[in-house]
Amino acid sequence: MWKSVTAAALAVALVGTGAEVLSNQAATVQAADAAATVAKAASVYVAPIDRAEFLAGAKFDFRVELNDLSSDPGAVSITINGKEAADVFGKPYVKTSTDTSKEFTIRDVAFSVPGVYTVAVKAGSLTKTVKYTVNAADAGGAKAKNVILFIGDGMAFSSVTMARILSQGLTEGKYNGLLEMDKFDQRAVVTTSGMDSLVTDSANSASAYNTGHKSAVNGLGIYPDNTESSLDDPKVETLAEMLKRSRGMSVGIVSTSEIEDATPAAVVSHTRRRSDKPEIAEMLYKLQPEVILGGGSAYFLPQSTPGSKRKDDKDLIGDFEKSGYTFADSATSLKAAPSEKKLLGLFHPSDMNVYYDRSTGNKDALKSFTDQPNLWDMTQKAIDVLSQNENGFFLMVEGASIDKQLHTVDWERSTYDAIEMDKAIGIARKFAEKNGDTLIVVTADHSHSASIAGTYWEGDGKSGREAIRTYEASQFPNYVDANKDGFPDNPDVSRKLAVVFGAAPDYYEDYKFNKVPTAPAIDSDGVYVANPAALLNPDDPDKDRFLRTGTVNPTTDSQEVHTADDVPLMAYGPGSEYFQGTLDNTQVFFGMVNSLGLNLTGAKVDTKKWVNLRDFANLLGGTVKKNSTTNKVSITLNGRTVVLNLTSGQASTNNKIIKLEFKTDTDGEVLVTSSSLLAALG
């Protein structure tokens, strides 16, 4: 068993990993200090928030807060569709208060019946109304037995393009091949903002994919509350939790980051603070996914072990082994691990090293961790273990350092990791093609500001900005893949991609590949300045020709930052039709739920194929009119008119009752079964 990580090795391993930094913390503290000097108006906060959507039967915590009170507001009324919330949920409130607040909490509740629910809060002059939509999963069509979700952390559209260029190349403007993710059935775009900010971090965006709910920056599987504790905020159930309790499905989590990091943690976690990594490791043990593969062993080791980051003597690796898990600490031991047992693999005390350094045996970067597996081998092993369960499985695979290396403006290492994830997608697709029962979804949690401006070439003696070739001067890059493994043999070629960053600190860019991952900016008396160590020649007297002036706050941001741009989504397999057009990130959760036909309530499943009445009638050349006064809808086609009485639920033609199947959805749209409408219209 690997528990002998030294403190020195751990310290070295943590240098230059490009870990995601939320560098607005100082600004946030300053803003909070300034706001504290201004008296806040009393307000009502309801969690879940307005326009939240739920899968019927999914568990959550309900909470109402009256905040910044200057006096007792008096009697408090909290109703849901006109009934007392405590009666609706069948549980009493847990009531708490401070000098300036009152809280009403009911934990572990669910809406079992689909529909629209209106929450109304009244406390003296304070009022708040929020609306929820509760959905049943679509039971029609072919259903998936398994779901594999790939998250390319920070994988913007430009990251996909970079990976395709470096992996496949172009000839006279046409790509010589496509990535695995390029070949999928469906494509969509995903919006990524959180409930509290335009630009998201990985925690609340990954949480949206796993719960169907928005969260706040740093939040995982929760809505934020007004308490100091990060572990008592209102929870929302994750898809993994739903699948384990309702179907007995297996769950797998694979990442090249610390397994407690935001994206993998979102599969199981409930915390307001993504930095609660020791607690997140314990949450992993509580749910016990059948496969856990990644870095982050420092949070599994008791504090007595050199290199541990725990503050107690819990030995989580030992606990997992006692629970029947095989433990692997290297590529060699992962390969030897049996597929018939649950599997815990931790291959680095911190984030795993990036693919380029792992694949080239770059000891300057790897230090003593020279036997780490690649992402596609981890994915294959996870599938081998998870597919033993006849009830199916849910697997989340993250290409973590696509993001982490963009933060350090090291787009080459980021792109190699994007190609590595694409290889893992190919492994998953082979499994899906063979079995025909697996949905694969590929997306990103947020975007970055990297963009391809052209190519960089010093062949005429120019360098720096003058060597960036645009438009007709941007001749195609000359990366070579002689061994046909899908990766460039060398990232340093004579004509490279010219990648520019729109949201970064001051940094040096000489378009020479860094020997090891290197921070783009360093602290100089409280201001982040460009790091000369990023240059091939840090002592170059003319180095300012490589200086890129930043666009972010030099007192708070030391790295390139996330952006609010939409991100790509690709889907393949049964249920892929649920992923089309422009989707909010919470809708990705419901797409997966619909592909599985997940029923948490035991209610009778409606397998009829419903279509939108207006769209279907228009397609046939007919017209649809609604009379809001009488609550009736008339359909006219080929001279025949059918009237639907939405109040009585009856259909008629020439004042005679006829059989026609129709209903309204949560948006008030009328749905019909196409066969019954065609029969009614003759």
Question: To 5 degrees, how large is the angle CA 333–CA 485–CA 513?
Answer: 90
Per the listing, tokens 């549980």 go with 91
Q: Distance between CA atoms of 518 and 494, rounded to whole angstroms? A: 22
Is 261 annotated as ligand-binding? yes
CA torsion angle 624 626 627 628 (round to 10): 180
C-alpha radius of gyration, the chain, whole number: 27
Q: Distance between CA atoms of 206 and 216, rounded to whole angstroms? A: 11
Is 562 annotated as ligand-binding? yes
Q: Distance between CA atoms of 161 and 604, rounded to whole angstroms? A: 46
Q: Distance between CA atoms of 236 and 59, rounded to whole angstroms? A: 6
The residues that bridge with 612 in the sheet, in sequence order, are 671
Is 403 annotated as ligand-binding? yes
β-pairing, 581-584 vs 186-191, is parallel
Q: Distance between CA atoms of 216 and 198, rounded to whole angstroms? A: 11
Q: Of all residues in the chain, what percent are helix, strand and coil, respectively (each to 5)?
A: 25, 30, 45
Q: Does 652 participate in catalysis according to the annotation? A: no
Q: Distance between CA atoms of 196 and 209, rounded to whole angstroms? A: 17
**Distance from the first to the final alpha carbon of the chain:** 73
Q: Distance between CA atoms of 653 and 69, rounded to whole angstroms? A: 60
Find the catalytic residue in 23, 167, 202, 297.
Answer: 202
Q: Distance between CA atoms of 130 and 577, rounded to whole angstroms? A: 31
Is 446 annotated as ligand-binding? yes
Q: Distance between CA atoms of 15 and 32, rounded to whole angstroms? A: 31
Quote the DSSP letter at residue 268: T
Measured CA distances, 81 to 43, 84, 113, 567 (Å): 21, 8, 13, 37
The backbone torsions φ and ψ at residue 313, rounded to the nearest 5 degrees and listed phi first, read: -100, 20
Q: Distance between CA atoms of 515 and 443, rounded to whole angstroms? A: 30
Q: Distance between CA atoms of 111 and 116, rounded to whole angstroms? A: 10
Question: To 5 degrees, how large is the angle CA 270–CA 274–CA 280?
Answer: 55
Q: Distance between CA atoms of 492 and 458, rounded to whole angstroms? A: 12
Is 544 annotated as ligand-binding? no
β-pairing, 325-328 vs 342-346, is parallel
Contacts of 18 (CB under 8 A, 6+ apart): 351, 354, 401, 404, 405, 407, 408, 410, 413, 517, 559
Q: Distance between CA atoms of 442 and 458, rounded to whole angstroms? A: 37
Is 445 annotated as ligand-binding? yes
Q: Distance between CA atoms of 137 and 185, rounded to whole angstroms? A: 22
Quote the DSSP letter at residue 196: S
Q: Work out the number of other CB atoms within 10 angstroms of the CB of residue 632.
A: 16
Positions marked catalytic: 202
- Please give the annotated binding residues for Zn(2+), written as ranges: 153, 403, 407, 445-446, 562
- Please give the annotated binding residues, written as ranges: 153, 261, 263, 398, 403, 407, 445-446, 562
- Please give the annotated binding residues for Mg(2+), written as ranges: 153, 261, 263, 398
